Amino acid sequence: MQKLRVADLMKLEDYAERRPAFRQRVLEHKRQRKLHLGEHLTLLFEDRLTIQYQVQEMLRIERIFERAGIEEELAAYNPLIPDGGNWKASCLVEYEDQAERARQLEVLKGIERGIWVRVGEGPRIVAVADEDLERENETKTSAVHFLRFELDTASRQAAKTGAVLRFGVDHPAYTLAVEVPEAVRLALVGDLS
């Protein structure tokens, strides 16, 4: 998948006018790229469109219009676009109650290193987590992690020919596996070269 360039982005004025329609398009697109792992963990699979939206929103919120600032945002977000041999996801640890979330982030320390995918009957592929910076400390994990699932040739080919995809978590306090719904599976297969 091609990385974003400055020329791919809308100027702030144009984005302000197009934002409602663009936002609606992206929200619809994201529905096919979301996978719940139980009640409290969600994977949001990123692609070029989701990252373009994120960059456009950051530029809008921060009022960044100078080329150097735009390039800086692109440098921060482009690594989240899959390259055809992997899937990249934002992982959200979700608890509505703030006090409960704080407790669970302590209990779930290290959960990001236990998330995996299995393509068909192939081996589990454990996600590489938080390559940009450490998101946990001595006592707790973060509520947001960035994951990369690196697929070998056989796994990519199996996915493209219809193999079942399963994502799961192996953590002492949170263990489960789910089969990927067909709409999400098709979106993920579309990310592979």
Does 75 share its domain with 116? no
Q: How many domains in the chain?
A: 2
- Residue 14: per-residue pLDDT: 97
Closest CA to 38 of 175, 190, 193: 175
Closest CA to 187 of 3, 50, 40: 50
- Residue 134: per-residue pLDDT: 79
Does 2 share its domain with 14? yes
Q: What is the pLDDT along the chain (193 residues), one digit of tens a residue?
A: 899 999 999 999 999 999 999 999 999 999 999 999 999 999 999 999 999 999 999 999 999 999 999 999 999 999 999 999 999 999 999 999 999 999 999 999 999 999 999 999 999 999 999 987 778 889 999 999 999 999 999 999 999 999 999 999 999 999 999 999 999 999 999 999 9
Does 42 share its domain with 26? no
Does 89 share its domain with 167? yes
- Residue 4 and residue 53 in contact, taking contact as beta carbons nearer than 8 Å: no
Does 121 share its domain with 71? no
Question: For tokens 């995918």, what's the residue?
Answer: 117
Q: Looking at residue 42, which CATH number applies to its domain? A: 2.60.40
Does 94 share its domain with 187? yes
Does 5 share its domain with 60? yes
pTM here is: 0.93
Does 94 share its domain with 169? yes
Closest CA to 143 of 178, 111, 113: 111
Does 77 share its domain with 95? no
What span, in angstroms and rounded, lies between the C-alpha atoms of 176 and 27?
A: 27
Does 76 share its domain with 142? no
- Residue 129: per-residue pLDDT: 96
Beta bridge partners of 145: 91
For 172, other C-beta atoms within 10 Å of its C-beta total 10
Angstrom CA distances, 37 to 5, 28, 64, 72, 92, stand at: 33, 20, 36, 33, 10
- Residue 43 and residue 91 in contact, taking contact as beta carbons nearer than 8 Å: yes
Helix H or strand E encompassing 147: strand 144-150
Does 126 share its domain with 156? yes
Which structural domain range is residue 3 located in? 1-31+48-81
Does 99 share its domain with 24? no
